[in-house]
Amino acid sequence: MPTPSSQASIVASWQWPRIHARPALALLGFCVALGLLLGLTVCLNILAEGGTVPGLRPFVWELTGALGAWLVLPILFTAVINAPGPRVGWGRFLGIHAVAFLLFTSAHIVLMAVTRQGLYALFDWGPYDYGAMAFRIPMEAMKDLLSYSLGATFVSLFTAWKERQDRALREASLEGELRAAQLQALTGQLHPHFLFNALNTVSAVMYEDLARTDRLLSDLGGLLRASLERREATWTLAEERTQAARFVALLAARFGERVCVRWEVAPGLEQVQVPCFALQALVDNAVKHNQDRTEPLEVRIRAREDGPDWRLEVEDTGRGFGSRSPASGTGVGLAHLERILALLHDGRARLERGQGPEGGARVALLLPREAAP
């Protein structure tokens, strides 16, 4: 079979088919089977008319015809590659196929005649009589016209289908690479954001309590290791909770009793997948936008099923959205999370911003249930 080329159908330059062994052998097997089947049909027809089957000659006739067609198939492939359809122009399409058909049927008839004469001599069957050429050649040409038309149509349709498949695979591969690069870029932007705030926290307590500083550095080391070693865009909620707990420890060291974090995770959700460091981004937002307040800040982290989705939310008792805060951030953390959710779930996940019962901010991630194993 010819190798499909995306441009072969429209370019005017002449192209030649590349014949590969496996499809060529498959076609050979098909032609042999077809020749045997047609030979058997001829035998049965002779017997049905009361005649006597002349030995293996019916099979020789049909096998030489089928194998001769197999040998001249490159002519058909060449024509299809250079004129797969009328879209190349009717003149080019009809001209190429007319010439190709004449070559196809001429070569086929010559091959059949020469081969049969040789086999007749080999088997000592006497001279081979091809019949009156004035009738035999038109008969063979009409049979070849049918074979050529069906073959060219099949090859043209198969080539077009293969081109579409190859193009779809290439597009899917490129889309996957692009998506991976986008996720890597987004998470790469997100992690330094957390680590920068964590370092500030360590700096704030290092001159007051050496033992606490050691624990904080240990937590920070764990965060750094997770950030540097993680290559995937998601991990389990249990892993996210472990990293978030380290970050909460850093916050507690810095803000003391002013910040309290509570967890409410419904059973069975520990293994669901979440974007890496999503909880840390939300907790960090809750704290930094309320760090100037003297009132205690309670941050509530909840995970539970919510209809067809499951819900991961962070709610605080601070000033809420829309109020001025000491944080100079532009909401890049939430924007990154929304972008990551879109890339991971193709619009089936979303981020909601709202207000808690005490007026603080509430941010929820609604993730599709299939994200759970």
Alpha-carbon distance values, 147 to 76, 92, 130, 172, 272 (Å): 10, 21, 20, 37, 59
Q: For each successive 10 residues of the chain (373 residues), what is the average pLDDT?
A: 46 79 94 95 94 91 95 95 89 94 96 94 90 90 94 92 89 74 62 67 76 82 77 86 87 82 90 87 86 88 90 92 68 78 85 89 88 45
Q: CA 205, CA 255: separation in Å to the nearest integer?
A: 10
Q: CA 221, CA 303: separation in Å to the nearest integer?
A: 27
Cβ neighbours around 154 below 10 Å, total: 12
| pLDDT of 373 | 42
Question: Please, what are the domains in the chain?
Answer: 21-183 (no CATH), 188-368 (3.30.565.10)
Q: CA 349, CA 8: separation in Å to the nearest integer?
A: 43
Tokens of 227: 């950030």
Single pTM value for the model: 0.53
Q: If you search the block for the tokens 């996940």, which residue do you land on? A: 349
Contact partners, residue 279, CB within 8 Å, separation at least 6: 240, 241, 243, 244, 301, 312, 314
